[in-house]
Structure formats: C-alpha cells, structure tokens
Structure 1
Amino acid sequence: MKKTTGLLLTGVMMGSVLAGCGSNAEPAKTTEGGAGDTKQVTLKVFTWLSEETMHWNKILPEFYKEYPNIKVDVNVLSTKDDAHEAMKKLDLAAASGQEMDVVMINDSTGYVQRAKAGMLAPLDDYLKADGVNYDSEYKATTQMEGKYYALPGRLLTWFVMLNKQKLDEAGLAVPKEWTWDEFMEYSKKLTRGEGPSKQYGTYFHNWEQYITLALINSPQSNKLVTSDGKPNINNDRVRKSLEIANQVQNVDKSARSYADVISQKLAYRNEYFSGKAAMIPTGSWMITEAAGTDTVPAKFESVFAPYPKYKKEDPNGATLANIDYMGVFSGSRHPKEAYQFTRWYSTKGILAAENMLSSWTKADLNKMIDGMVKTGKNPEMVNKASLEHVLGTSAPVKIEAPPTYMSDASKRYTSEVEKYLLNKQDLNTTITNAEKSIQDVINLNN
C-alpha cells in the first residue's frame, strides 16, 4: 500500500526512450483463437507483486493453455511488494531503454503520471476490435481523458474486519449496515483495560485513507482535488473524516493515538491479529490473511461488516475501491501479444490466482471468496457468511483519474492533519491551512 511519490523520469528521458519506438501493430481481433497463432514471442512483464502475493505459478500455466505461442518473463521489481521501490525501478528501466512489454502500476496517481509521460499505449483500438464494452465488462474504470491506457488488475475494496470473540464478549452483533457514528460507538464498547494490556476497539494506521474515511466513498468528488482542479477540503465529509480520527484516537482513546502509531512504527496487521485491536477498517487483501498465513496463523474467527456510511440515508454498500493498472508499454516490440496477455490477465488471470478479487463483472463472487479463503492455513477462521454479505452488497465508488500532482497534494494535507491529531492546531485551522496548501500545489502545477 505504500504510495509512489512521483516519476523519476523527466520528459527528455522518456522522450529519448520512446523516440526510437515504432508504431504499434494494427489491432486485430485478439482474444479468441489465441492458440491458433504460431509466432513464438516472449513478453517482458514488469510488476511490483511477488510470487507470494500474485501466485504467478498458478496464473501462467493457465495462460499458456490458451496462448501457447506466448511465453511470459515476469520481472518482480521490489522486495516485500514495496510499490514505492518498484515504481522507481520501473521508471529507471524505461529511461535506460530496457525491453518491456507489459507494466503493472500500483495506484491511480502513478497511472496518470506514466500515461501522460508516454509510457503506456492506448488500448481503445484493441478493445474495439475485440468488441469489448468496457463499462459492462469491468467494475472499475481506467479511462483517462477519454482513452484507456490500462486494464484493471486486482480490485481492492474496503470493509471493517472484526474479532468475533471480542464482539461476543461485548454482546455486539455483526453490523449489516452502519454509520461512522455507530462505528465509533462500537469502538468505545470494544475497548477494555488500561496500560500495556489495554484492548483497543479499533486501529487507525497513518495512511491517508484513515484521515479521509468519510470522503473516499463519496459517489462524486472523493479525492482531495476535484476533477476540475480545485481543493476538495472545506466540506462536511472532510471535516467528518477528521472528527472521526480525533474522536477515536484522542477523545474516546478507543484507538492507539496518532503519536503512538508514528513514533512506535506500529504495524496494522500485528495490532489486529495480536488482539490489541478488536476491529480495523481495511481492504480485501486482508481476507487471505484472516485465514492465516505461515508467519501469522489465525487464532480467532474474523467477521466482516460493510464500510460505514457517512449518514444513515446514504445508499448501502458504497465503498472505497482501488485497483492495480496493467498496460502495454508504448515501446513494446510485441504490442498485440502484450494486449492479449493484459486482457486475459484482467479477466481469467486474476481468477486463476485464487487469492484476490477481480474487477471483471463476469467473475463468480463465491468462487473468488472460496479461492481466497482456502489459500490460508486456517480457513475456518474466516466467517464466510458475513464476508459474502459484505462483498455481495459492496458498490465500489467510481475511480476518478487524479491530477499528476495528487501525491504532493496528499502530502500537504497529511502534514496539516498530523498537527491536528497531535493537538498542535484546531480543526478549523487545519481545514483552512490544508485548503491553502493544496491550492498552492495546484497553482504551482498550473
């Protein structure tokens, strides 16, 4: 989940890489009849996700059954799935002229930056030739300025994961729908004891998601900068987000303080799986971990609740959505085959891994859940009924392509919010300063 802070490439560097690249082959219908092709090619795929996370050894054999003429050379760019490290190496590989065919990018900001820098080839002609109606095919969009430069990889949606034993001890039911106010009440009721042995109701990490909780599942304008390039700070949803964080961390003390999180470099997995925190707002990558891993066996049953609503009358199921972006490198020597792999991966490939959710609308939800749970060491510790309810009713909000300077805007916002959570300035000052600081970033980039 670490975010890349920006491109290492300059326009000149990228220009020098792409100047010698020929135009892509004329698109032809590609997703059917792949096995009939005889030309043997090897694709260089650059990704930030390891074998442990992605299960490439499950994915590739299934691909070869349909496309025996295409071999795939997977290049993992990071250690321990560190996206920040991987994106640096990806940019350096492009700048140095390394052969690449398919690239995976970890977040929307990085995707926009690299698409605008010319790293990715548009896929619209290929999709049209295949008769793909994007909006009916995928839950999450990758459209940027009217074109598609990538297809969605893993779908990461958010929910609340709860320790069933702690819920039962407090006499609390598994929520089927709830608001952030109700979440905070649960957090208070789940808090027990004092000192080193204290059990906290919840845990908030120091990611931006935990200081934009009521904003990021808004149907529109769910980022810190609006689609027309204005600060999206001085509004009720951002104010509520900060009030939530302050309430649980500083007022109710039903979560570790922000000061503890950053000074002790706390790990969110440890806080939940050790039983220090009874529940945690988190993402779907944690499903397999709730079923137990080699390093962290599951010692208690986890249940799942929907992402809380901003207000009671909001529609049910609205949740933050993130995706990986997989696209064809604009300098690929095998653009047709690179598209074939990208398209197959975004549909059948993710399902073959059996450990993640897919954006493909034709994917079987129950099979995905079964696959994710069975990969764990303790699958019986995942309450499948509550998980099926949450994922079956979830409605990922539309992913909007952010401006290229979003990382800078996020850092400015976080810097001001830290002062608020560390009791160095009040809420109104925080809102005012954050809005001004983000406006400065916008002015600089414009």
Structure 2
Amino acid sequence: MVLSLLAGCSTESKTQSNEGSSTPSGGKAKEPVTIRFLTHGMDSNYNWKDTIPAFEKKFPDIKIDLVQLSDKGDTAEANKKLDLAASSGETMDVLMLTDPASFAKRVALGIAAPMDDFIAKEGFKVSEEYKVDTLLNGKYYALPTKLTPWYVVLNKDHLDQAGLKVPTDWTWDEFRDYAKKLTKGEGPTKRYGAFFHGPTDGGFMEFMKLELGNQSDNMEFLRADGTSNLDSPLFKKTLELYLKMEKEDKSLTPYDERISQKLHYRPAFFNQTTSMVLMGSWFTSELGGTDQFPLNFNVAVAPYPKNAPGDPSGYAPYITDYMAIAASSKHKEEAYKFIRWYTTEGQIVQGKQIPSWSKVKPEEMGKIVEVILSKTKNPEKVDKASITNVMTGYKSGKSIPPVTYQAEINKAINEEFELLIFGKQDIDTMIKKSKDRVQKLIDTNKK
C-alpha cells in the first residue's frame, strides 16, 4: 500500500527532486543547503529518525537540522521557545505550528512567510490537494500535514464489565449516560467515566465547542463572516453538558483537579483512572501502547457524538499541523520543497498519522491504520476495525480560517469558563461576558 501511494506521486516528486539537484552543465555540484526545522514533535509521535533520512535521500542537496523545542511534545512550551528564537534572531527555515490559533498568531507577528508564489509555480489548488484549506487573510502561509478528526477512545474492558457495546453512532446524551455507568469508586482510587483535557490555558478549546463540533457549518467561536457565534444555542448546550457531567453526575474528572495536579489524558487513560477520553485521532499512533505508557487492556474507538439521533453522523472537529516557511529564512525555496514533500508522501513514509493529503483514498484507510498501529507495543489489543470505521466515516465541515487574534478569543472564553466551573458565575452570565469580550476583540481588530 505504501509503495503504491509513493508510486502514485512519483512524477511530481521526481520533478521536484531533479529541480533540487540539478547543476549547470559542466559546473560543480552545489554544496548541500542545510535548513533549520523547528518543531514540538517528538520522534515517538513523528518518526523523525526515518522521515528525515527519507527526505534527504530523495533530495541530496538539502539537509535538515531538526530542532525539537520540547522534549515531551508540549506545544505551549514549544510555542514559547519558537517566539524566543524568532525575537533573538535565531536561524529558522521551517516551522511546525500545531493549531489554528498558534498558526494565526505567528502569521500576525510576521514570523511566517507566504508561499503563494511557490504554489502558483507548481500549479495546484490547496483546497483540492489537501482536505484542510489553510488560507489565512487571502494568502497561504502554511500547508497541512495530518488530518486528525476527534473521536472517543474507550477502555473496552471497562465497557465489557458494564455490559456496554462499542458505539458506532451515538449522541451526547448517550455519551453522558456511558460516562455515568463507567464511573466507579470514590476518593483517591475513583475511576471517572470520562476525561476532558480542556480548556487548558486557552488551548484545547474544542471542549468549549463540543456540540458545535459535529456540525457541517459554523463549528467555531466566530462565523465565516467574522461575527461572533457565541449566541448559538449549541454553545450554551456544551456548557450545560460539561457542568452536568462534572457537578451532577460526577462522572468527569474535575476541572480543578486536572489544572492543579496538571493531569494529562495519556496517563489518565493508560493508568485506567478514566474509561473514555475525547481526543484528536493523532492518539491512534499511541493506542497500542508505548515505552512510556504500556497498554494492559483492550481498546476501541467510537465516533464523535452528535446532538440528536436524526443528525448526520461523521462530522467532528479536526486538528492538523501547519508547516510554514520562516519569514527570516534565507533558503525559502528549499524550505518549501521540504514542506511540500513532508505534507504529501512524507506523511506516508512517517507512518504515524492519517494524512491530510487528498490523494489518500478512503478505501486505503484500513491499511494506513494497520501500519500506524503496527509500530506500537501491543497492536493486537486495539480494535482496528472500530478506528477504520470512524476514520472512513469522517466528514469535514466547512473550514473557517482562524483570525490573527484567535488566541485572545480563546483566552477570554477560557477565563470566563473558569469563573463558571468554580461557581463564581452562572451560565447566562458567562455567555454574556464572553460575548462582550469577544465582540470587543472583533471591533478592535477591524481594519
């Protein structure tokens, strides 16, 4: 499967490779250009040890200097170090940014350069070549890598003990019911039915959009026309679901414990202190267990829940990594070649994530899932069919490009949510204050 996919893009890649290594007739071969690539990604999740040599073999005139900004894959730490590197004038050529807000913020700061000229020269449409359209302010500052729609990861042993089936199509009400039935015990040894990893310091804001997330349109805090979407009843329903699960059902790991103890979804799931984790499908590359988190139980995956039984299935939020050329780079052409390769056939070579590249057909998804899981410690404990069904059935809603002040919007909503979850204001007050703060940001940033 991998070879056939690579063969399918051989014509384009061969052209790129020849362009990169050609020399004037009779001239001396150029010295390889080294480009500096800054990323949050660890090798366990991104397989750099195989991916980068594969690129350098195909493009011998370009060498990659990999700079890992966090030794634990922490995106917040990586972003801070990236900004410090930019402000201190460090050499940077290729940047990996992990979410729309981080991407938009670095564009606004002038750290990323547009790549429209390179795209036009190559002659393709990003919206056709990739399943994620990264257009921002009318320009392309990045190309997408993985396609990681959100799904629900389940401890199948816990489901079996509770007499519950692996859902193939379900609602948020059913998700809540599962969480209640899976919750067990009290005190320090209590097992919670579900774990929400956000919001966290303005990040993982998907947890503030739970019931917005399974729509074909208007899935974000802002609408496509730039107006606030916080008056959507689905925003209020999300907050109500969060509060009911934590305060009434006590089936959700408490927010204050998660923040104060810096709890993380990986140990919560693999240590079996929770039965269900709602997370992006980048988690697939770890589901069979890793050196850090061994797997001692059976795992299955369910689709992102929908709001009502009659709603269409398959819609879910998604996350991608944004590969950008540093504005300060002196080797922008070489940086673009690496980005273009990495976001297409490089994703297949990496074998860790579902690619955003449109040339990967739905029927090939099962093989890709198998390859990804085969690199984990105990792939036999993972229900591969459940993952394949979820990934194959995924539908991408209309993409709304992030605004350059997205991080400020996220921070404002996160702060108001904390006052809500700590009992210092009610839902209606939180929504009003959030709407007021977001509207002020919209007005301030109008051109």
Q: For residue 367 of structure 1, what is the aligned residue in structure 2?
A: 367
Rounded to whole Å, the distance in 2 between the matches of 1:125 and 1:443 is 32
Picking from 177, 184, 195, the partner of 1:192 is 184
Displacement of 1:112 = 1.8
Q: For residue 386 of structure 2, what is the aligned residue in structure 1?
A: 386
Q: For residue 412 of structure 1, what is the aligned residue in structure 2?
A: 412
Work out whether residues 192 and 198 of structure 1, in 8 Å CA contact, stay in contact via their aligned partners in 2: yes
Q: For residue 48 of structure 2, what is the aligned residue in structure 1?
A: 56
- Tell me the TM-score normalised to structure 2 length: 0.88
Rounded to whole Å, the distance in 1 between the matches of 2:423 and 2:19 is 61
| Segment drifting more, 38-47 vs 335-344 | 38-47
Please list, as runs of the form range in 1=range in 2, the aligned pairs for 1:251-400 lying within 5 A after superposition.
251-363=248-360, 364-400=364-400
Question: Given the superposition, is the C-alpha separation of residues 422 and 173 from structure 1 closer, same or farther in structure 2, using an over 3 Å criterion?
Answer: same
| Residue-by-residue CA offset, 1:222-260 (whole Å, 9 max, x unaligned) | 222333333321221101111110111111111222233
- Equivalent residue letter for 2:308: K
Rounded to whole Å, the distance in 2 between the matches of 1:313 and 1:42 is 54
Rounded to whole Å, the distance in 1 between the matches of 2:257 and 2:87 is 40
Question: Given the superposition, is the C-alpha separation of residues 97 and 418 from structure 1 closer, same or farther in structure 2, using an over 3 Å criterion?
Answer: closer
Give the alignment's Cα RMSD to 1 decimal. Answer: 2.1
Rounded to whole Å, the distance in 1 between the matches of 2:387 and 2:117 is 38
Question: Given the superposition, is the C-alpha separation of residues 412 and 151 from structure 1 closer, same or farther in structure 2, using an over 3 Å criterion?
Answer: same
Displacement of 1:185 = 1.4
Please list, as runs of the form range in 1=range in 2, the aligned pairs for 1:149-164 lying within 5 A after superposition.
149-164=141-156
Q: For residue 206 of structure 2, what is the aligned residue in structure 1?
A: 209
Work out whether residues 135 and 141 of structure 2, in 8 Å CA contact, stay in contact via their aligned partners in 1: yes
Rounded to whole Å, the distance in 2 between the matches of 1:375 and 1:82 is 22
Rounded to whole Å, the distance in 1 between the matches of 2:89 and 2:261 is 41
Rounded to whole Å, the distance in 2 between the matches of 1:146 and 1:180 is 36
- Equivalent residue letter for 2:97: I
Displacement of 1:435 = 1.2
The aligned length equals: 418
Q: Gaps spanning 5+ residues in structure 2: where? A: 1-13, 24-29, 200-204
Q: For residue 128 of structure 2, what is the aligned residue in structure 1?
A: 136
| Residue-by-residue CA offset, 1:154-176 (whole Å, 9 max, x unaligned) | 32221001111111112111111
Aligned-residue identity in percent: 40
| Segment drifting more, 201-210 vs 142-151 | 201-210
Rounded to whole Å, the distance in 1 between the matches of 2:38 and 2:266 is 27
Displacement of 1:71 = 1.3
Aligned-partner SS, 2:63: strand
Aligned-partner SS, 2:127: helix
Aligned-partner SS, 1:154: coil
Rounded to whole Å, the distance in 1 between the matches of 2:69 and 2:263 is 26
- Equivalent residue letter for 1:280: V
Displacement of 1:137 = 1.4
Rounded to whole Å, the distance in 1 between the matches of 2:187 and 2:35 is 55
Work out whether residues 34 and 65 of structure 2, in 8 Å CA contact, stay in contact via their aligned partners in 1: yes
- Equivalent residue letter for 1:33: N
Q: For residue 18 of structure 1, what is the aligned residue in structure 2?
A: none
Rounded to whole Å, the distance in 2 between the matches of 1:405 and 1:313 is 36
| Segment drifting more, 114-123 vs 152-161 | 114-123
Question: Given the superposition, is the C-alpha separation of residues 401 and 158 from structure 1 closer, same or farther in structure 2, using an over 3 Å criterion?
Answer: same
Displacement of 1:319 = 0.9
- Tell me the TM-score normalised to structure 1 length: 0.88
Displacement of 1:32 = 5.5
Q: For residue 74 of structure 1, what is the aligned residue in structure 2?
A: 66
| Residue-by-residue CA offset, 1:349-380 (whole Å, 9 max, x unaligned) | 12212212210122342332122211111111
| Residue-by-residue CA offset, 1:251-305 (whole Å, 9 max, x unaligned) | 1111222233223332222222222211111111222222111121101111000
Work out whether residues 280 and 319 of structure 2, in 8 Å CA contact, stay in contact via their aligned partners in 1: no
